[in-house]
Structure 1
């Protein structure tokens, strides 16, 4: 009856008297966020190139390298990153809180002696829901062939000055704006020595009750020519785990009977990255890889996954292994080493833009639907229920999603307003997967939340 009354009001020419909430209920929120198109073209290849060069010019950024010098070693590099974040904060009126997060590691295979592993974080606080975070990370450190060699030149141009430069550039772009939720721009240390920086920051986040809904780990985002001979500047890989790393035996047993093997929060975060890129960017194909990381290898999103924080890896599609973890040398006509020659800053800017629109979309969205559950066994229709958390002032309503179980992405959706349940008439729960996302009044939207513990963010 309310919808009929609204339609009658509009037909009578008195639309001005209809509240914005009623209009949203009638028409739904915008299907796209116009500012994300602007953000998608905002990262500067020139600034990223300059930042990569600056990081390379520190000579080595090995975790075990010099920390007292102002011009060489990881100490100089992290202080420069800290200063860059502070400069960005000054330009936005102090909108960033810049901090060091560290711990001392020793007795490890790649850190045998006591070493302070120091990461740099810049936090852009949300205006409505400040304890909800999304993080973009890059790695500060570099290495050569010997993982314990902290003195030889180790430029680490692509691995991973490119990711770190992307984080700094994303901060420049997004700090000019305000969002409901918070954004963390992170430079993590100790990656090459065993992912220690990520572990330290993940533990710090848990200790401080930060509700991190996604970590976008950027590791090697500037190389376009692979060892396989392929040159490609229009494709990016997004790696994500399919099943939550920290599910309990009871949760695993439930998942066996209800599904969710490919619907962890990390996997739905990856789907979100792809949907954002497909909507707001051109000439970039997002390749979702259904794997935690490359075959038998690891990255700095993994420590977050271990403790239940959703995280993915964003990186180039074709790697050039002669430029990874190599002493600088030429042998048999082959040039080894991770130098500026392997950097394509235009490509790095494109991947930075993909991160930026993802950060903006998630930070601009309302709180994620809570306690999503699905029911409908031996019933003709499936039913979803969920709860609305606090700090949802920008909520326009919810969108329900469904797909056949073999579809890699969400294929169908419907905006259902400020409901907390929805029945999918004549959709048998056995044959489909279901989920729900929260939509802001400006159209910003969360990733899809899959029902139960398997998909809970």
Structure 2
């Protein structure tokens, strides 16, 4: 990502230089306002504590956890109603084991984790997209989660959540007995959440981190849907959700197009369920990519630059995908997005669909099935480190600014931004203004808000045209900054 950013900045500089030469000959000014103010985005300094935590990620433990999950044979959600399963198999046995692992992590940190089930009965449901129903009778579901309570009485109200789904399926989503190992989809994401819990529970953070594994994803996002609604009903100040689904770095012999140095980050643009007036207002100013989830994705890219984009022996570079998910597929981040929470999905660069949702078999010399042998545990370890770095950074940040506005009452080439402090900051934060050209995906420039104070508290007046760039406001505690918040027009 650093190389990509450098290339973008170099291209901009080259374009500006070419324009400058022509402008000099024509006798006009070559200065561009958005490059004359502030500085190109640079990676933040690494936090020693977060760096130390990342070094503790154990590839062997990740492999052992995934292997144990595979041993439950078939973790189809509806197997919770079966009475003829072999002992130690099925989705409920898997849930009990995951809970026991979270409890062991809590024991190691002196009881620092609140470990519990989110249990409920999913009622029979209609099919979707003209498909057959996937839950045909009342079915017990268990989400398993562990809460690492923040140490600051105010900041601890803010929460950041990491999740993966531990249920699996084979070709027939209703088959509860034949092997459905799910080594990649989604034992890999479950292992990320578990390893993050094991390591980050050794540290203390001002804000709260929640480590989750959900059921019911393959039956229709049931587990995450229930947990997201529960978070909404309980008033959780949930500022970021990281969903890991299919992050195993599939290793198929002969596939030369897979990348082990890239991870895709999917996020929700405009919510179709948002009020039509809100959608129209966003489209009117081209803000369809300024949603909370897209801003969280940009924060992931920012953290990646600091900790993993140039890591040895292999980097891990995030690729921001400007769509909710892949074609014909869905994931648990959608459940949280639909409840108004910022959420993203991590997925490996190139999926092999012979190793997903397949009956385990060999046909004409080709192996089908989501088997352990196709996982790349070093890659999963890198994904775990990225999640941990994002969680640690956000949990040490002051939280997101509120009610960010861009003043549109004046026809001029300045930009006036106003905002209110985060709702649960441990101390008075500083603020950073970031911006990018309207054709760019990621932030390009930044400036300390204190350098361009406005006439009111928590405001700036920048000599940059609001028509040519997208702005964001970040709250910072030292080098720990929140994801940016895009301003909405105000008078």
Length-normalised TM-score, structure 2: 0.83
After the TM superposition, which residues 298-377 of structure 1 pair with which residues of structure 2 at under 5 Å, given as runs? 298-376=330-408, 377=410
- 1:122 paired residue number: 146
After the TM superposition, which residues 114-193 of structure 1 pair with which residues of structure 2 at under 5 Å, given as runs? 114-128=138-152, 129-193=155-219
> Unpaired runs of 5+ in structure 2?
1-43, 126-132
- Residues 48, 349 of structure 1: 8 Å contact kept: yes
Q: CA deviation at 1:340?
A: 0.8
- 2:279 paired residue number: 252
- 2:100 paired residue number: 83
| Residue 63 of structure 2 corresponds to residue 49 of structure 1 | yes
Distance, in Å, in 1 between the alignment partners of 2:246 and 2:101 is 21
Distance 1:397 1:360, change over 3 A: same
Distance, in Å, in 1 between the alignment partners of 2:441 and 2:48 is 27
| Residue 53 of structure 2 corresponds to residue 39 of structure 1 | yes
2:434 alignment partner, SS class: strand
Q: CA deviation at 1:32?
A: 4.3
1:269 alignment partner, SS class: helix
Length-normalised TM-score, structure 1: 0.89
- 2:3 paired residue number: none
Distance, in Å, in 1 between the alignment partners of 2:148 and 2:236 is 13
1:214 alignment partner, SS class: strand
- 1:294 paired residue number: 326
Q: CA deviation at 1:31?
A: 4.7
2:218 alignment partner, SS class: coil
Residues 206-248 of structure 1 deviation map (CA, whole Å, 9 limit, x = unaligned)? 1110011111110011124369542421111111122244421
Residues 341-366 of structure 1 deviation map (CA, whole Å, 9 limit, x = unaligned)? 11111110000100000011111111
- Residues 80, 141 of structure 2: 8 Å contact kept: no
Give the stretch that moved more between structures: 368-377 or 385-394. Answer: 385-394
Distance 1:141 1:110, change over 3 A: same
2:217 alignment partner, SS class: coil
- 1:23 paired residue number: none
- 1:59 paired residue number: 73
Distance, in Å, in 1 between the alignment partners of 2:449 and 2:386 is 28
Distance 1:164 1:158, change over 3 A: same
Residues 335-389 of structure 1 deviation map (CA, whole Å, 9 limit, x = unaligned)? 1111111111111000010000001111111121011111145122111111113
Residues 372-431 of structure 1 deviation map (CA, whole Å, 9 limit, x = unaligned)? 111145122111111113432344411111111111111111122595111112x11111
2:433 alignment partner, SS class: strand
Distance, in Å, in 1 between the alignment partners of 2:427 and 2:100 is 34
Number of equivalent positions: 423
Runs (4+) of structure 1 exceeding 6 A deviation are none
Q: CA deviation at 1:93?
A: 1.3
| Residue 448 of structure 2 corresponds to residue 421 of structure 1 | no
| Residue 233 of structure 2 corresponds to residue 207 of structure 1 | yes
Distance 1:32 1:399, change over 3 A: farther
Distance 1:453 1:267, change over 3 A: farther
Distance 1:124 1:343, change over 3 A: same
Distance, in Å, in 1 between the alignment partners of 2:191 and 2:365 is 31
- Residues 402, 411 of structure 1: 8 Å contact kept: yes
Distance 1:270 1:453, change over 3 A: farther
Distance, in Å, in 1 between the alignment partners of 2:364 and 2:393 is 49
Q: CA deviation at 1:440?
A: 1.1
Q: CA deviation at 1:41?
A: 3.0
